[in-house]
Amino acid sequence: MKLGWAAGRVLAKKGNGPVLIGKDTRISGYMFESALEAGLSSAGVDIRLLGPMPTPGIAYLTKNTRAQAGIVISASHNPFYDNGIKFFSGDGTKLPDDIEHEIEYELGLPMQSVYSRDLGKARRITDAPRRYIEFCKSKISHNVDFNGIRVVIDCANGATYHIAPKVFEELGAEIICHATSPDGLNINDECGATSPDALQKLVKESRADLGIALDGDGDRLIMVDNKGNIIDGDDIIYVITQLEREKLNGAVVGTVMSNLGLEQAIKRLDLDFYRAAVGDRYVMDLLRKEKLILGGETSGHIINLDLTTTGDGIIAALQVLEEMALTGKKLSELVSGITKYPQIMKNVRLKEKIDITSIDDVNAAVKDVENTLGNTGRVVLRTSGTEPLVRVMVEGENEKQVTALVDQLTDKVTEVLSAS
């Protein structure tokens, strides 16, 4: 409630437009929604309630309805018992740092309501899902339809459950739905982008052309090809690059976790490949800095600034299907030009968040592994932004060697952290 009040105080100084609130399907969303609504109202700001909506849908509607800001209540791919809050500015992008700093300052002040006559009013936007469905459909070429393409859609029992199936069905695809019955507790529960096993099975059993697994808030996806193989964010970026090659201003953005195989495949298309830190915010920052269009993460966050202001799982999937429809190729054929290097990642749980790269013994162990790999591989050590984990990744040409090296490095990190 105080966060809503603090944000409302800052926004009220800058304009008089409403603030949108949307959420995913986890049970605590009701509580967060009510508290944020009360806080914003007490600061004199009007509220528009969207109900369950994908994160990119909230970003779109924030800009489309001329709202001052949009608030997303979601913990993305995390289990139902987690939740979080993120903000979009009026142009559908993340809040600028200076606005965030002002909100942080207001959070430290005593909460005080405006006079009763100045309280903000709340109302519900009942056609929010339909507006976003039409927006998504408008992002592919008007002469393309998906007739004859059979798609399995896994909505993770999350925010896309009532939207994604309609988008693809209305564009002509034959759809088979999975995890589209949220109950507040089953979001991301053995389904969605983080658990695509069920989708792989369904694609093979139904002889579908592909499968689409979205995460709980719909801003990322993992796909499955017609053979049942996992198609991750690197593969999806490669397919979209083939579709949009002439529009990309000469380069594509990945992250430090993007597979070397993607970098090599992009360069074979005569494009440069840039690496950002892990996180869609950093991908976005690099896209803007270099005046580029397309970027994304291996985990399935795909940003195409020609089409959206933020990562959008549905629109990325639409682009893949558009390339299939235009070329007549299966998804397995479209990704055949990228050869992945073996890449293994392990997690080490933290007692408290620390900067793992500041520990000399860990840096020495990383250097040893890098020397062993030479120019044929990479090592990435980073602290998770959403969980108390250190992620240890080793990539190289030889899978047996990579497995041994990631075990060696994980053991060393565990040993150092246990002793600290």
Query: Is residue 335 within 8 Å of residue 239, measured between CB atoms?
Result: yes
Q: Exposed/middle/buried for 193, CB within 10 Å: 0-12, 13-18, 19+?
A: buried
- Closest alpha carbon to 331 in 225, 229, 224: 225
SS3 329: coil
Q: For residue 293, which of 237, 218, 231 has the smallest C-alpha distance?
A: 237
Query: Which residues fall within 8 angstroms of residue 195, CB to CB, at 6 or more apart?
Result: 188, 213
Distance CA 224, CA 231 (A): 5
- Of the candidates 41, 42, 76, 195, the residue annotated as catalytic is 76
**Distance of alpha carbon 335 from alpha carbon 265, whole angstroms:** 10
Indicate the DSSP class of residue 115.
Answer: P
Whether 42 sits among the annotated catalytic residues: the reply is no
Residue 125's nearest CA partner among 51, 226, 46, 225 is: 51
Instruction: Give 124's strand partners.
Output: 49
Closest by CA position to 390, among listed 372, 371, 416, 364: 416
Q: Give the list of residues 6+ apart from residue 309 with CB closer than 8 angstroms, or none.
A: 59, 60, 63, 91, 92, 93
Catalytic residue numbers read 76
